[in-house]
Amino acid sequence: MTDSDMYKNEPVTYDNIDEGGYQESTLARVLRARMKRDGKRFWANDNISDYLHKSDKEHLINEATKAFEQVLDALLIDRETDPSSKGTARRLAKMYITEVMSGRYEPAPDATAFPNDSKDRYEGMLVVRSELRSMCSHHHQPVAGVAYIGIIAAQKLIGLSKYTRIAQWCARRGTLQEELCNDIAREIGRATGAEDIGVYMQMTHGCCENRGIMAHSSLTQTTVLTGSFKSDPGTKKEFFDNIKLQQEFAPR
Ligand SMILES: [Zn+2]
């Protein structure tokens, strides 16, 4: 019995049928119907882990494998005798769900917060440099570079590696750099409780290098500033001075 047969035999309930009334035949259709029913957005840069059970990822990989087989067939690539193309459909399905888009299917990284509310609490700026790999949602081409994440410490602190883990979790989706910059600022704010946040990113885009304009080193810079990073020129300057120092001492 294939996976899609399994779901075909599922009783049709409100949970596995959408308002349009179609009978579900794959897990992906069931999950899409549930998200539509709830008004849950499922764009390429959205996390949908709340809708997935543990074993669902394996099912989705199986379903995406079948779909990628059809894509390869449509591209007239012989996946039966070309040894390099034999397992490609499954490799692609697995790569999307467990690697390049894993930030859609995995819940947020656990970022235990430590209190920062004593008399000698840290009140300064913290700037973390995070290396990121992402993928543009327009062309599914790699986007790579660094993000500098700055905060003015609030009532709690998180481990230094968590800044990068959170940024990577946001990046491992289909994104636009502008959106990604916003997503990182929002999630860092959520994890740290900080309202004063700066995120500066510089990334190269495969979609500008491998195709289209074919421009090498297509470096794109984006900045998101909130709270004092936005309103106080001194804080803003300190953030960018920190970035310059980081770039001097940790060149790419
Ligand atoms: Zn693109």
Tell me the pLDDT tens digit for each residue of 152-177: 998 889 999 999 999 999 999 999 99
Which residues does the chain have with pLDDT short of 50? Answer: 1-14, 16-24
Q: Which residue type is seen at 40?
A: K
pLDDT of residue 25: 66
Q: Output the CA 139–ligand 1 centroid distance in Å.
A: 4
Tell me which long-range contacts 233-236 makes (C-beta under 8 A, separation of at least 24). 235/125, 235/152, 235/196, 236/198
pLDDT of residue 249: 84
| Residue 231 to residues 19, 99, 217, 218, 237, Cα–Cα distance (Å) | 47, 38, 32, 30, 11
**Alpha carbons within 13 A on the beta-carbon side of 145:** 22
pLDDT of residue 21: 42
pLDDT of residue 217: 65
Q: Output the CA 137–ligand 1 centroid distance in Å.
A: 6
Q: Output the CA 202–ligand 1 centroid distance in Å.
A: 15
Residues whose CB falls within 8 Å of the CB of residue 12, separated by 6 or more in sequence, listed in order: 23, 24
- What is the reported pTM? 0.87
pLDDT of residue 12: 41
Q: Output the CA 171–ligand 1 centroid distance in Å.
A: 14
Q: Output the CA 210–ligand 1 centroid distance in Å.
A: 10
